Amino acid sequence: MSESRRIILDCDPGHDDAVAIMLALGNPAIELLGITTVGGNQTLDKITRNALSVLVMCGREDVPVHAGAHRPLVRRVEVAPEIHGESGLDGVELPEPSRSAQETHGVRFIIDQVMAAEPGTITLVATGPLTNLALAARLEPRIVERVREVVVMGGGYHEGNWTAVAEFNIWVDPEAAAIVFDEAWPLTMVGLDLTHQALATAEVEERVREVDSPLGEFFIGLMGFFRTAYQEHQGFDDPPVHDACTIAYLIDPAIVETTRVPLTVELRGEHTVGMTVADFRRPAADDCRHQVATTLDHGGFWDLVVEAISVLSAASASGSAAGSAADSGAEA
Ligand code: BDR
Ligand code: CA
């Protein structure tokens, strides 16, 4: 088997962020070095607590969690209770974490990990607003050439969800997104065009129910709330589990097709702030650093998620962690 992808997950859990965490921890192709949190779906305190609770459910309280930015670079905080509830993870009872987040700020953690690692070995995955990544790039510009790849759930080349043309993560902090998209690192945008294919159907839930575990029930509780929210506020029958698509792409790029295309983030339009503009007019230049995700293998994606939930559930039942982040620089 090829070496696992070493990632830092920058997130705002969030129902679909929670599934991204499960997938990252339940597949041997991924080594999760740590989680950093960013204000987005709910306030920083709430979503940091959610990250810790999800790790309890996954039986992986060894994974370090570092709180990052509590608000966007320029704009006011905007949260999404209609999609994720008052807690940010409504629909389930959240277990009490036995610990708090680490002392070190999330942005500092990202910088320290990338600077300490061999160049080209750490991938940054962002499933919330891009505030932490933008701050990290500004605070320590040398990380840009050392990061292997940045994978962002955000934006869309044909779709918006928070405005007609802007997706939530980009809309919340478009200035940060503009910084991150403009840096010289390779960037893959896993946007709405792709993630709206990742629907948690009744059949998917049935497969997870068959796993018959507390983590499986947790997933089903989350999807129940998420489904109703998407039915009431976004006109969907089933909820799209956006954020987990970033991890699926890293596990098996055959499941998430991509194409190279230059991207920019709109900051000044009267009706288009936060839009991710993809220029498809001609084949991308050889040095194009951007790619967008286009087509999802729905069955393959859900096979990965169900398998991850099974693996984590089996490890919890036998009292062993499915993996260990012990050597990842976690503070005592
Ligand atoms: C994105 O916004 C959040 O509500 C989700 O967690 C996801 O990251 C989808 O637009
Ligand atoms: Ca998210």
Domain ranges of the chain: 5-318
> In the prediction, which pLDDT does 320 show?
75
- Atom index in ligand 1 nearest the CA of residue 13 equals 6
Establish how many alpha carbons lie within 13 A of residue 40's alpha carbon, considering only the half-sphere containing its beta carbon.
36
* Ligand number nearest to the C-alpha of 9: 2
Q: What pLDDT is recorded for position 131? A: 98
Contact 194, 256 (CB under 8 A): yes
Backbone angles phi, psi at 137, to 5 degrees: -65, -35
How many Å lie between the centroid of ligand 2 and the Cα of residue 114? 22
How many residues make up the chain in this entry? 332
- Residues 206, 211: Cα–Cα separation, whole Å: 9
CA gap 247, 63 in Å, rounded? 17
169's tokens: 């993560």
pLDDT score, position 273: 97
- The pTM score is 0.96
Beta-carbon contacts of 257 under 8 Å, excluding residues fewer than 6 positions away, are 293, 294, 295, 296
Q: Is the CB of residue 176 less than 8 Å from the CB of residue 277?
A: no
Task: Indicate if 242 belongs to the active site.
Answer: yes
Q: What is the mean pLDDT of each run of 10 residues along the chain (332 residues)?
A: 90 98 98 98 98 98 98 96 97 97 98 98 98 98 98 97 98 98 98 98 98 98 98 97 98 98 97 97 94 98 98 92 49 40
Q: Identify which ligand lies nearest to the alpha carbon of 172.
A: 1
Q: Whose CA is nearest to atom 2 of ligand 1?
A: 168
Q: Nearest ligand, CA of residue 226?
A: 1
Out of 12, 42, 194, mutate this one to test ligand 1's pocket (max ligand atoms within 8 Å of CB): namely 12
Quick one: pLDDT at residue 2?
Answer: 72
Ligand 2 is an ion; residues with CB less than 5 A from it: 12, 14, 17, 127-128, 243
Structure token digits, residue 228: 């109703």
Rg (CA), the chain: 18
Please state, in angstroms and rounded to a whole number, the distance separating the CA atoms of residues 136 and 179: 10
Can you give the pLDDT at residue 319?
85
Peptide bond between residue 329 and the one before it cis (omega within 30 degrees of 0): no
- 168 CA to centre of ligand 1 in angstroms: 6
Out of 15, 66, 242, 290, the active site residue is 242
Residue 231 tokens read as 């039915």
The C-alpha atoms of residue 107 and residue 126 are separated, in whole angstroms, by 13
Q: Please give the angle made by the CA atoms of 299, 261 and 239, to the nearest 5 degrees.
A: 35
Strands, E assignment, the chain: 5-11, 30-37, 65-67, 122-126, 147-153, 187-190, 256-260, 263-265, 276-278, 290-296
Q: Best of 15, 83, 125 to mutate for ligand 1, by most ligand atoms within 8 A of CB? A: 83
Question: Which atom of ligand 1 is least distant from the CA of 11?
Answer: 8
Question: How many H helices and E strands in the chain?
Answer: 13, 10
Give, for ligand 1, the residue of 242, 275, 276 to mutate: max count of ligand atoms closer than 8 Å to Cβ. 242
The CATH class, in words, for 5-318 is alpha beta
Q: Quick check: 17 and 128 in contact, CB under 8 A? A: yes
Pocket, ligand 1, Cβ cutoff 6 A: 14, 16-17, 41, 80, 83, 127, 153, 161, 167-169, 242-243
Give the C-alpha separation, 38 to 105, whole Å. Answer: 11
Determine the atom of ligand 1 nearest the C-alpha atom of 84: 4
- C-alpha 5 to ligand 1 mean position (Å): 23
**DSSP result, 79-143:** --HHHHTTTSSTTSPPPPPSS---SS-HHHHHHHHHHHSPTT-EEEEE-S-SHHHHHHHHH-TTH
The answer to whether 188 touches 289, Cβ cutoff 8 Å, is no
Residue 54, token pair as written in the block:
């999800």
pLDDT of 1: 56
What is the C-alpha separation between 287 and 310, in angstroms, rounded?
41
* CA of residue 242 to ligand 1 center, whole Å: 7
